[in-house]
Amino acid sequence: MSAENSISVLCPGTHSGMGDRMVAASENARRERPVLYSFRRCPYAMRARLALSVNEIAVDLREVVLCDKPAHMLELSPKGTVPVLWLEDGSVIDESLDIMKWAWAFVGRAIPEDAPHYDLVEQIDSTFKFHLDRYKYATRYDPAAAEDHRAAGMQILLAIEALLDRDWLAGDAPGFADLAILPFVRQYRIADPKWFDSYTGLQRVQGWLARFLAWPGFQAVMQKYPQWREGDAPVLFNAKAA
């Protein structure tokens, strides 16, 4: 199984609340910016990077290899999943939706839970993700049930299809819900691109995803970085904001 096919299981991410663990003040003193532990292809880390990028928040990026997680990341967040955002005051946010909310709030654009389409984000993180894993990684679950899980995920995408009357859920430009959801739609398509692209009645979602993949904002956060190791020089992410 390829690395791409193992991402979702290796970085499962649950979204329940912000961490508030603290680290040594001596470590904080050496940092000029927040630090983001990330893995390029993980959809949870992807949406955290998107949120930081669109809100022009510079961070030091530490690219993680999931089979060789840094001891410091595990110290900050013992659950061992990415993304992990380590702020200058020593506090830690280790849930991707909370990182997105923090990024919006940092620039004065707080996202209330009754915001448009927030319910879709919750559905993607729960029901859709459940079926996505059992479809995309069927050999780890029940291969005979893969098509049932694919169909269940498609029902959620068809519900989004009915809502897409403009280029993005947010209108003319991608918004919070778009950035929170599309990395997982991308994963769904990766499982069988030919089937997804030819599915009848999904034209708006197909166009939505294609638009996202071609969007410079997405391409900017998908730059490849070498694995971070203790002692490496900082790697500036979103340099234009620094």
Q: How far apart are CA 34 and CA 93, in angstroms?
A: 11
CB within 8 Å of 206: residues ≥ 6 apart: 196, 197, 199
Residue 218: phi and psi, rounded to 5, are -75, -45
Q: 4-111+219-241 and 118-216 share one CATH topology? A: no
pLDDT tens figures, 204-234 = 999 999 999 999 999 999 999 999 999 999 9
CATH level 2 (architecture), domain 4-111+219-241:
3-Layer(aba) Sandwich (3.40)
Q: Which of 13-17, 44-48, 236-240 shows the lowest per-residue confidence on average (mean pLDDT)?
A: 13-17
Binned at pLDDT 50, 70 and 90, residue 239 comes out as low
Strand partners, 93: 85
Secondary structure (3-state) at 202: coil
Residues 188, 17, 40, 114: is their CA dihedral positive or negative? positive
186-198 confidence digits (pLDDT tens): 999 999 999 999 9
Give, in words, the CATH class of 118-216: mainly alpha
pLDDT for the residue 18 = 45
CB 77 within 8 A of CB 22: no
Overall pTM surpassing 0.85 (yes/no): yes
> How high is the pLDDT of residue 47?
98
56: pLDDT confidence band, cut at 50, 70 and 90? very high
The more confidently predicted of residues 31 and 217 is 217
Above pLDDT 70, what percent of the chain?
86
Domain definitions of the chain by residue range? 4-111+219-241, 118-216
Tokens of 10: 């290796």
Give the per-residue pLDDT at 113. 79
What pLDDT score was predicted for residue 112? Answer: 75
Contact 209, 182 (CB under 8 A): yes
Strand, coil or helix: 240 = helix
Tens of pLDDT, residue by residue over 86-129, are: 999 999 999 999 999 999 999 998 887 778 899 999 999 999 99
